[in-house]
Amino acid sequence: MTPGRTESPRFDLPEPDAFTRPYWDAAAEGHLLLRRCGGCGRAHHYPREFCPYCWSEDVGWERASGEATLYTWSVVHRNDLPPFGSRVPYVAAVVDLAEGPRMMTEIVECAHDDLRIGMGLTVAFRGGGGAAEDGEAVPVFRPRG
């Protein structure tokens, strides 16, 4: 950081806590985790300490397959929040995970004109690596195959 200059806050890096630490640790190892309810059996994402369907607190971590289908997307051409401005254009998307939950994410390694609703996707991870500037590994998705 340059002396006399304040660094802009980062909006793209998660702030893990004791509850979400297993999720971020798994991501750093290249695995996507979900929470599954022991009461109703449904999986959910984002991680919560209770089931959003039946309100049970009997929920646990489960490794997801990493497979998904594209539900919808938008190509973002302008974003003034650091560091997103340097990434435009990028694809903000909602995907249906194979286990059932929907997840907000980013689509990478795919030409915008090749995006199709229902296309097969697989999880990849951005960031990580242990350096402070890298932050946590964040799940993104790319075309399957």
Say what the pLDDT of residue 104 is: 97
Say what the pLDDT of residue 85 is: 81
Two tokens, residue 120:
């097969």
Please determine, for residue 1, whether its predicted confidence score (pLDDT) is greater than 50: no
Q: For 37, what's the count of Cα atoms within 13 Å in the CB-facing half-sphere? A: 18
Q: What is the mean pLDDT of residues 27-34?
A: 96
Are the C-beta atoms of residues 33 and 47 closer than 8 Å to each other?
yes
Q: Read off the pLDDT band of 86 (50, 70, 90).
A: confident
Q: Read off the pLDDT band of 8 (50, 70, 90).
A: low
Sign of the torsion angle spanned by Cα atoms 105, 139, 97, 43:
negative
Beta pairing partners, 63: 33
Say what the pLDDT of residue 127 is: 84
Q: What is the mean pLDDT of the chain?
A: 89
Rounded to whole angstroms, the Cα distance separating 85 from 141 reads 20
Say what the pLDDT of residue 129 is: 57
pTM of the entire predicted model: 0.86
24 Cβ partners below 8 Å, 6+ apart?
A: 14, 16, 136, 137
Say what the pLDDT of residue 133 is: 46
Instruction: Tokens 């690596």: give the residue.
Output: 129
Please determine, for residue 72, whether its predicted confidence score (pLDDT) is greater than 70: yes
